[in-house]
Structure 1
Amino acid sequence: MTEHRYTPEWLALREPADTAARADVLLPPLLAHLPLAPLVVRDLGCGTGAMGRWLSPRLPGPQHWILHDNDPELLALAAASLGERNGHGPKVVVSAERRDVTGLRAEDLAGTSLVTASALLDLLTAGEVDALAAACVEAGCAALLGISVAGRVELDPADPLDPEIAAAFDDHQRRVTEGRRLLGPDAVAVAATAFAARGATVRTAASPWRLGPEHRALTAEWLRGWAGAAVEQRPDLAPDAGPYLRRRLAACTEGGLRVTVHHDDLLALPGPRP
């Protein structure tokens, strides 16, 4: 897997929206499933460690977080951030592994209590998601996979070009790149099917970004990326997309634009070993 390069600045900008969006409703069944012994948690595509910062205080007892990412800068930031949390909640031991997360197999997950990831599923292919589900279920570990794009965006006030930009963006999310067809908005449905087919109990819950005037910087950056991906997918949109983006950015700056970007979270709990 060739991983997308996300800058620390972008990840920091989106972290408050991710934190507010995460589906707390999935935590009670997860906590009921997890063992009482010290937990081993693997964070796939950890970025700067946002998932660990959110989840580690909500998990019980001592924890060993194993961070996986292909980006050494992000991996170092995540490890340092989580290590600094000791003394502010459950004791957290952190280790880091730079590796391709799609290469994990059941034997790699031996002893793992929970596999987690944020904004990762939609960057995978159907085969990669199937392999991840197989590895988790065969290893007997739970999976909490959050903030996957759902293919639905609402902008208020509406603009006549919204549907075309949204459709082109979704097509871009499903694009073929370096021989890999990404799942994009289909990721959660594909993952749910893959886990359920192996006997796991699967729950999903909505985790939307709700962006208002207090999120101007994030909304503006998201708009640029959203419209830019749409034009990359459909260059014929370029003549209209430029004025569209200027209108939207002006409304954002003035505090007159609200955006809901829909995501889904998924929890998969493996059944008892036969």
Structure 2
Amino acid sequence: MSAPGSPVTPDWLALREPADAAARAVELVDRLCGWLQERPDEPIVVRDLGCGTGSMARWLAGRLPRRQHWLLHDRDPVLVERAMAQLPEAATAEPRIGDLTDLDAAQLTGTTLVTASALMDLLTAGEVERLAAACAAAGCAALIALSVTGSVLITPADPFDAAFASAFDAHQRRTVDGRRLLGPDSAPATAAAFDRHGMAVVRAPSPWRLGPDEAPLIEQWLRGWVAAACEQRPALVAEAEAYLGRRLAAAERGELRVVVGHADLLALPGAADPEPRP
């Protein structure tokens, strides 16, 4: 996913990769590995939707129980090229350039696992529904990471935090080219879609917890967050410069802490018994 309010760039993806890796719910991978070990001893075929520069493959490949073949889906060939060049030793891969919202069960035939990271909030309810239906029909698992929840906690607090947070959430739910994005509704919508199609769903929180060691990421995230909020509600422009100045000054002093809510999800085909959802 791109920084809020900005295009996806390799620099932004590289900046956020350590925070993403620290946030992802490892317990869901443990459950996934148990499911994989019950399957035939053959290479795992993984489709990574919106792969970017391949951070999910770098994080996940070494945690899976045997060799994998990854199909790297993204609309940006430059990002896919970088993902192919940084592939872990445990995996081979093929590029898949183009739209990923129309995958169906036939295309997923032979796929063991579908993954996506920081993607579902950029999709519509219908697109998520089609993905869940395709995974269920194809009998493949899905590991969906880092869906934003709309929860943002910045300390110390500022009187304008709530206004910018509300405007940013509205921006994420905006309509683009006739598509109404799920934004912070994506985590419950995704869980409900997989559940409707008979898959066992387990969810886990995966928040970013950012402090002085992540000051460059905090700065870029804040700039994008404020810009998106102002785009959605232009009345905030009058406060944006002063607000951003206060926040960046606190970050520079090492005083700022930011918790950005995300949720991870594992959906397994069949009647696997899910754990209670948080």
Q: Residue 132 of structure 1 corresponds to which residue in structure 2?
A: 131
Distance 2:137 2:98 in 1: 21
Secondary structure at the residue paired with 1:94?
strand
Distance 1:201 1:29 in 2: 12
Q: Residue 18 of structure 1 corresponds to which residue in structure 2?
A: 20
CA shift at 1:32, angstroms? 1.4
1:76 aligned to 2:81?
A: yes
Task: Give the counterpart letter for 2:174 in structure 1.
Answer: R
1:255 aligned to 2:257?
A: no
Task: Give the counterpart letter for 2:159 in structure 1.
Answer: P
The unaligned stretches of length 5 or more in structure 1 are: none
CA shift at 1:58, angstroms? 0.2
CA shift at 1:248, angstroms? 0.4
Alignment of 1:41-80 (within 5 A): 41-80=46-85
CA shift at 1:151, angstroms? 0.4
Q: Residue 183 of structure 1 corresponds to which residue in structure 2?
A: 182
Alignment of 1:150-229 (within 5 A): 150-229=149-228
1:241 aligned to 2:240?
A: yes
Secondary structure at the residue paired with 1:97?
strand
Secondary structure at the residue paired with 2:216?
helix
Distance 1:152 1:207 in 2: 12
Provide, for residues 106-150 of structure 1, a one-character-per-residue CA deviation record: whole Å limited to 9, x for no partner: 000100000001000000000000000001000000000101111
CA shift at 1:42, angstroms? 0.4
Alignment of 1:108-123 (within 5 A): 108-123=107-122
CA shift at 1:5, angstroms? 3.6
Task: Give the counterpart letter for 2:105 in structure 1.
Answer: A
Give the structure-1-normalised TM-score. Answer: 0.94
Distance 1:235 1:259 in 2: 24
Secondary structure at the residue paired with 2:86?
helix
Provide, for residues 49-95 of structure 1, a one-character-per-residue CA deviation record: whole Å limited to 9, x for no partner: 0000000000011210110000000000001111xx32xxx3x1111
Percentage of identical aligned residues: 58
The unaligned stretches of length 5 or more in structure 2 are: 1-5, 272-278
Instruction: Work out which of the residue numbers 31, 34, 38 in structure 1 matches 2:33.
Output: 31
Distance 1:111 1:64 in 2: 11
Distance 2:138 2:7 in 1: 29
CA shift at 1:172, angstroms? 0.4
Provide, for residues 8-31 of structure 1, a one-character-per-residue CA deviation record: whole Å limited to 9, x for no partner: 000000000000000011112211
Deviates more, 1:28-37 or 1:43-52: 28-37
Distance 1:28 1:256 in 2: 35
Q: Which runs of 4+ in 1 moved over 3 A?
A: none
Distance 1:62 1:260 in 2: 35
Task: Give the counterpart letter for 1:18 in structure 2.
Answer: D
CA RMSD of aligned residues (A): 1.0
Distance 2:67 2:176 in 1: 40
Task: Give the counterpart letter for 1:170 in structure 2.
Answer: D
Distance 2:13 2:92 in 1: 23
